[in-house]
Amino acid sequence: MDKIVTIYSTPVCHFCHAAKDFFTVNNVKFTEYDVASDADKRQEMIEITNQMGVPVIRIGDDVVIGFDEGKIRELLDL
């Protein structure tokens, strides 16, 4: 079963772009929320992590703060 992948990001975040490029190259489907323009999703992200840093990546029930490629590969079995 594929895990649901969600990324909370902003348009100007270099690591957000790197994470999305990584998902694209590895054929990982993901849902993106722009927390710069979506106040509800920004609040949701803060409730999950207690902080404002992006990217925040949810893979199934796991949360990765920042673009930690090794951890993401492990969680996605890549």
Tell me the CATH number at 48: 3.40.30.10
Q: What is the pLDDT of residue 2?
A: 78
Domain coverage including residue 42: 5-62
Sole residue written with tokens 């840093």: 53
Whether 67 is covered by a domain: the verdict is: no
User: Which pTM value belongs to this model?
Assistant: 0.94
Structural domain total, the chain: 1
Low-confidence ranges of the chain (pLDDT < 50): none
Question: Who's near 59: CB < 8 A, 6+ residues apart?
Answer: 3, 4, 5, 72, 75, 76
* Residue 76 is assigned to a structural domain of this protein: no
Domain-located, residue 11: yes
Q: Where are the beta strands (DSSP E) in 1-78?
A: 5-9, 31-34, 56-59, 62-65
- Identify whether 74 is part of a domain: no
Q: What is the pLDDT of residue 71?
A: 98
